[in-house]
């Protein structure tokens, strides 16, 4: 678990944290991971995987917020941010942003050391 904002900002290796660096959030919210953790293929149980960008059309959202590259925490209960397993460039990967009421979903790319939630889907 990475707690220091400056440490999070400099990462290019797998990492995770709890929202607001508070382990009591574990019961209500999932951990937030950087994309390097996604690429380890160790976040999901056997027979499951982090969905690729194209698989997201079949998934439903939960609320999660995210951790920015500077280590700050944002948007809990406003939006959910989810990594895909699809890389868009050496520095970026695709993510999905879902609005709190499920009315809209957005696909975009962002630097890999942001901290987003992860969903698993069956192989």
pTM equals: 0.71
| Predicted local distance difference test score (pLDDT) of residue 116 | 84
As to burial, measured by CB atoms within 10 angstroms (0-12 exposed, 13-18 middle, 19+ buried), residue 7 is: exposed
Measure the CA–CA gap between 85 and 115, rounded to whole angstroms. 14
* pLDDT at position 38 over 80: yes
| Helix or strand (DSSP H, E) at 37 | helix 35-38
| Predicted local distance difference test score (pLDDT) of residue 39 | 93
User: Taking phi first (over 0 means left), then psi (-120 to 50 degrees means alpha), and beta for anything else, what does residue 98 get?
Assistant: beta
* pLDDT at position 88 over 90: yes
Overall average pLDDT of the 5-18 stretch? 83
Percentage above 70 pLDDT, the chain: 76
């Amino acid at each position: 678990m990475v707690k220091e904002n400056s440490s999070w900002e400099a990462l290019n290796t797998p990492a995770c944290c709890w929202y607001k660096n508070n382990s009591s959030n574990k019961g209500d919210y999932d951990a937030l991971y950087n994309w390097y953790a996604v690429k380890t293929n160790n976040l999901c149980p056997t027979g499951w995987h982090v969905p690729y960008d194209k698989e997201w059309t079949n998934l439903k959202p939960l609320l999660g917020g995210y951790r920015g590259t500077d280590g700050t925490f944002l948007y809990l209960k406003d939006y959910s941010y989810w990594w895909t397993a699809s890389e868009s460039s050496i520095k970026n990967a695709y993510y999905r942003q879902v609005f709190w009421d499920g009315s809209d979903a957005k696909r975009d790319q962002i630097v890999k050391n942001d901290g987003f939630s992860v969903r698993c889907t069956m192989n």
